[in-house]
Structure 1
Amino acid sequence: MHNATPHRQAYGVTPKSSDARRWWRDAVIYQVYVRSFLDSTGDGVGDLAGVRAGLPYLKKLGVDGVWLSPFYPSPQHDHGYDVADYLDVDPVFGDLAEFDQLTAAAHRIGVKVLLDIVPNHCSSEHPYFQEALAAGPGSPARSRFHFADGRGPDGSEPPNNWHAMFGGPAWSRVTEPDGSLGQWYLHMFTPEQPDWNWRDAGVTDYFDRVLRFWLDRGVDGFRIDVAAGLFKHPELPDSPDPQADARTRDSVNPLAWNQPEVHDVWRRWRTLCEEYTARDGRERLLVGEVSVPTAREHALYVRPDELHQAFFFDLLGAPWDADAFRKVISEAMQDIAGTGSTVTWVLNNHDQVRTVTRYGEPAPEGSGLGTARARAAALLMLALPGAAYIYQGEELGLPEVVDLPDDVLTDPIFRRTGSRARIRDGCRVPLPWSGQASPFGFTSEVEGAKLPWLPQPEWFAQYATDRALADTSSFWHLYRDGLQLRATLPQLGEGTLRWLEAPPGVLAFSRGDGLVCAVNFGPAPVAAPVPGTPLLASVTCPPGVLPGSTAAWWITDHPHV
């Protein structure tokens, strides 16, 4: 791995001025997948106490906040995204007292806490759904969900032809209280995750109570799962192209997603959050998982009275190509930043193949090329205007674990399709913290400690956190250096971007007064756009040269170069 070359004296620059009401606009948030972060009890599953123990590590890295994956009581059919109780903590992760301790500890060191809220669907074990099953057709309890009679003379066919995102039909038939086969219910993911019916006023009121419960406990905001979902076409008609809807979990069924009524929910939630802000001046953040076809549609979710931000996934999905990246960035800046919000950039998350592997494919665990490209992409993302989210392990340069045995896979996509093509276990393997063998410091060394819930490969040893901190050329130090500069240089974070002329295969842009970022997407070195040694680079850059698969930042008196 090549050495980065930061000019550390730049860290003495006076920190950027901050407005507590606008902290989120250029924040860097670290996504904690709780069950894979750090296990404090020895049961092989990460927990809230483990997150609390890891806060000093995250503070040292330099992030502004953490987003916690769901830790609510759940049968764990989709690892917490099937919520059985939105107002408590699953015992496997701790309890409410531990959550309060975690929030207080984070706030003491200036780290925000965001919760993952799941409003599109719940667990089939949620009391409301169990009540709906017992109450029977036509009951108020069933109106909270999408129950419908089947088609055909005996009602044995689903109400429509929709497919579930994780494979199979989007409907399951229930056995009625009298023992007969009866209605069907909608689940856009798995049968264990029935979709809420947001056209029922009781659902709206229920989630108001959920948000207030956690805001009253001091959280700084919410990451909203499936934020373009919630509302379905009121008539539940057939999809004109059901096979297209079934091809990928990221496809969008226009009858089930992105319905116009969903914007009323985000206006309501924004008003609720601003009620809390009015009390103490501390702005609460709503950031949505918004999967829609275009940046222009994405922008509708971040209008001034709706969500503060929404993840912009197009950068994550862009091929390693200068023109593709420029197109994605330009559209985001034009359509999303134009609303008055800021773009929320991501390169990794708990649902996607890690960048080191994605950029290095088809090599099994990524490659040197994948590593170089992922390092360059990290500096590119941190130089863009707006906010950025880092997925745990991204700062270690972790590749995807691609060879997990079938018998350990837990992803419901695998269970429902039998295919490994789109499974997500490989990016969720518990983090390596120290040592030469599993559990690599992930699991507490107590008598009877269990193995991590997903097996860690032997090669995780070279990515362990203790090694990363000791090696100044590591991925971790590249991220830490980038975050320190981002926190101090007034040119970075929120602001403008201006493209600069660059040779084919190279992106170059200026930020504010005198900072230039350039990325060489090609394999061969090119002349650097700025003379002299970079302020920070993803690999060693000789003066005047930008190597292949490399990004670098410069401070210059001539940002028009």
Structure 2
Amino acid sequence: MNHAHPPVPATDWWRHAVIYQIYPRSFADSDGDGMGDLRGITARLDHLADLGVDAVWLSPFYRSPQADAGYDVSDYRDVDPLFGTLADFDALVARAHGLGLRVIVDIVPNHSSDEHPWFREALAAGPGSPERARYMFREGRGPGGDLPPNNWRSTFYGPAWTRVTEPDGTPGQWYLHLFDSKQPDFDWGNEEVRAEFDDILRFWLARGVDGFRVDVARGLVKAEGLPDHPVEYQHSGHPAPDGSRTPLLDQPGVHEIYRRWRAVLDAFGPGRVLVAEAHLRPPSRLAAYVRPDEMHQAFNFEYLDCPYRAADLRLVIQESLDAYGAVGAPATWVLNNHDDVRHVSRFGLPTGTPTDDGIGPRDPQPDLALGARRARAATGVMLALPGAAYLYQGEELGLPEHTGIPDEARQDPIFARSGGRAAGRDGCRVPLPWRNGEPAYGFSPTGRTWLPQPADWGPYAVESQRGVEGSSYELYRAALALRTKHNLGAETFHWVELPGAADEVIAFRVGDILVVATVGDAGVRLPAGEVVLATGPLTSDTLPPDTTVWLKV
């Protein structure tokens, strides 16, 4: 059945929407090749309508050599045959809209694939050509140009520069790639690049999409002259020690690009949105991307990265509400995505344990019982907060990270480029379990999967949880229904001080709902009110540790 939503004006649905990220490779496989596809997504959209989300966001499905799971695009106006056809995409959008779900798609503007026609033309054309001017080609340093143009490092480990062999066979220029060497960076100072992406946006808007999630939104413009880092970092994405801008990221020139894009979207009418993927601290810096004439939302990575501590949580919530509110934008809240260790596993490690490199079989393993309890409590907080919330596929099932993927099965280029030191992101990208006792848990009719699934995932399957009181799926479904019923995404927020509560307890009120969370080992006496949601069992008038409750007051 379709989840009923109150009418939302087309112009501001995004201000308090719950948006569900679909990673197409791993959602549902319709043809048995082990790779999720668009027809598989379309066939499973009822699951999302029943769950109660407002929109879906699709990670890349464009033509691609798949060197970085589709974030290396070779044709921005077509669907990769792995996932289907443009007709399949149109059918997906039509079905989603028929269910009342809006559709956001990824756009990858920082770089293309090295197999994009433009990059092939650049290699063939040689130095100084208009074709090379679309990308960041530079002469090397040192005798014979044998050294990279500067000391920048790739986010995927190793140098951010690769030297090419010129058409005459001699060693030649270097090209910049903030990520894999198969992902050359565009030069956004080039008007041809800007006009091309204007047209790409229009192409998908004309096909009915409701918006774009902008990959590496902070990275399109590099500092003039491409100066060295003040410090040579292991990852290009790390901020400078004093929090100032680095030469690679968050340059002021990006804002002109997004004002131009906003005009493109607005020309298609109200309700189309731009969402920034930009890891920036503090939230006030990220708020510059969501000023009224730029983007509509930005992912709140400060919230995702927040340690499981009450004081840290209070601070990031307040700073986020203040920063986004100052520019008239909604805060967003997110605990999972396709690049980060799933929160069930993160919260099962000692608080503050770094997980940027993923978790592999040789790393310390999380306590999944503790992690699941804390993840449910954290979700209870997130889904009550005003603004928009993002869910990542499988989050509603309580899926943990698959930490046991063998080395030979890993696909993430981070694993290879780090020499195996970093497990990478495969563990959160494993195909979903739909039905216990079926091949690939119902993900694929043949049992094939592009990444291996754990042998013990049967209880996590959708059909194992549907209708089961206390299951993760039913918790999310209940929370989303109550969020809609009480209009929590659009209500006002204020903190509440509970008499005698320990520092590990946080409490706040949104509309007529009082939220109390024990973020740690201390319990607290339940205030008066009707319990409408609890993330764990309540056996007395005391809220136990690592539990969140919603009270109607």
Classify the TM-score, shorter chain.
over 0.9
Match in the other structure for 1:499: 495
Letter in 1 for 2:544: P
Structure 2 equivalent of residue 177 of structure 1: 167
- Kindly state the Cα deviation for residue 533 of structure 1 after the two structures are TM-superposed: 4.5
CA contact (8 A) 2:281 2:302 kept: no
How far 1:480 moved relative to its partner?
0.5
1:515 Cα offset (Å): 1.4
Whole-Å separation in 2 of the counterparts to 1:553 and 1:269: 40
Residue 323 of structure 1: which of 311, 316, 321 is its match? 311
Matching residue within 265, 285, 290 for 2:273: 285
Tell whether the 8 Å contact from 2:504 to 2:522 is kept in structure 1 after alignment: no
Quick check: 1:486 aligned with 2:483?
yes
Q: Using the TM superposition, give the Cα deviation of residue 249 of structure 1 relative to its aligned residue in structure 2, in angstroms.
A: 5.3
SS at match of 2:202: helix
- Would you say the 8 A contact 1:68–1:115 is kept in 2? yes
Matches within 5 A, 1:161-560: 161-243=151-233, 246-247=234-235, 251=239, 254-277=246-269, 282-361=270-349, 364-421=365-422, 423-436=424-437, 438-444=439-445, 449=446, 451-490=448-487, 492-502=488-498, 503=501, 504-512=503-511, 514-528=512-526, 530-542=527-539, 544-556=541-553
Q: How does 1:117-132 map to 2 (within 5 A)?
A: 117-132=107-122
Contact 2:154 2:235 in 1 (8 A): no
Amino acid at match of 2:219: G
Q: Is the 8 A contact 1:533 1:544 kept in 2?
A: no
Question: For residue 255 of structure 2, what is the amino acid of its counterpart?
Answer: H
Residue of structure 1 equivalent to 2:353:
none
Q: Deviations over 1:203-226 (max 9, x none)?
A: 000000100000000000001100
How many residues are matched? 531
Structure 1 residue identity aligned to 2:494:
R
User: What runs of 5+ residues in structure 1 fail to find an aligned partner?
Assistant: 1-11, 557-561
SS at match of 1:242: coil
Q: Work out the CA distance in 1 between the residues paired with 2:319 and 2:458.
A: 40
Pair 1:60 & 2:66 matched: no
With 36-45 and 462-471 compared, the bigger mean Cα shift is at 462-471
Per-residue deviation at 1:437? 5.9
Contact 1:188 1:195 in 2 (8 A): yes
Deviation at 1:495, TM superposition (A): 3.1
Cα distance in 2 between the residues matched to 1:374 and 1:438: 28
Change (3 A) 1:251 1:441: farther
Deviation larger for 335-344 or 383-392: 335-344
In 1, are the aligned partners of 2:439 and 2:447 still within 8 Å (CA)?
Answer: no
Between the aligned partners of 2:235 and 2:184, the Cα distance in structure 1 is 21
Specify the SS of the correspondent of 1:516: strand
Q: Is the 8 A contact 1:366 1:399 kept in 2?
A: no
CA distance in 2: counterparts of 1:137 and 1:315, whole angstroms: 44
Which amino acid is the alignment partner of residue 291 of structure 1?
H
- Contact 2:211-2:272 within 8 A present in 1 as well: yes
Aligned residues of 1:499 and 1:510 also touching (Cα < 8 A): yes
Q: Name the SS of the counterpart of 1:31 in structure 2.
A: strand
Shift of 1:543: 5.8
> Contact 1:359–1:373 (CA<8 Å) still a contact in 2?
yes
Cα deviation, 1:179-216, whole Å, max 9, x if unaligned, reads: 11100000000100000100000000000010000000
Would the aligned equivalents of 1:437 and 1:461 in 2 still touch at CA under 8 Å?
no
1:494 Cα deviation from its structure 2 partner: 2.1
Aligned partners of 2:231, 2:423: CA distance in 1, in Å? 21
Superposition deviation, residue 544 in structure 1: 3.2
How far 1:420 moved relative to its partner? Answer: 4.5
The CA deviation at 1:268 is 0.6
The separation in 2 between residues aligned to 1:320 and 1:521, in whole angstroms, is: 7
TM-score (ref. length: structure 2): 0.94
Report SS of the residue matched to 2:127.
Answer: coil
Matched-pair identity in %: 51
Which position in structure 1 is the counterpart of 2:95?
A: 105
CA distance in 1 between counterparts of 2:124 and 2:218 reads 30
The one-letter amino acid paired with 1:479 is: Y
Q: Do the aligned residues in 1 keep the contact of 2:134 with 2:186 (CA within 8 Å)?
A: yes
Letter in 2 for 1:57: H
Q: Deviations over 1:517-547 (max 9, x none)?
A: 111012242112x225411110122463211
- After TM superposition, the score normalised by the length of structure 1 is 0.92
Report SS of the residue matched to 1:459: coil
Query: Deviations along 1:485-513, whole A, 9 cap, x unmatched?
Result: 111113x002321011132111100112x
- Aligned partner letter, 1:414: F
The CA deviation at 1:230 is 0.3
Q: Cα RMSD between the aligned structures?
A: 1.6
Contact in 2 for aligned 1:87/1:213 (Cα 8 Å):
yes
Structure 2 residue matching 1:88: 3-state secondary structure: strand
C-alpha separation in 1, matches of 2:421 and 2:93: 37
CA distance in structure 2 between the aligned counterparts of 1:250 and 1:107, rounded to whole angstroms: 39
CA contact (8 A) 2:346 2:366 kept: no
User: What letter is aligned with 1:338?
Assistant: A
Task: Describe the SS at the equivalent of 1:21.
Answer: coil
Once residues 184 and 27 of structure 1 are traced to their aligned partners in structure 2, the CA distance between those partners, rounded to angstroms, is 44
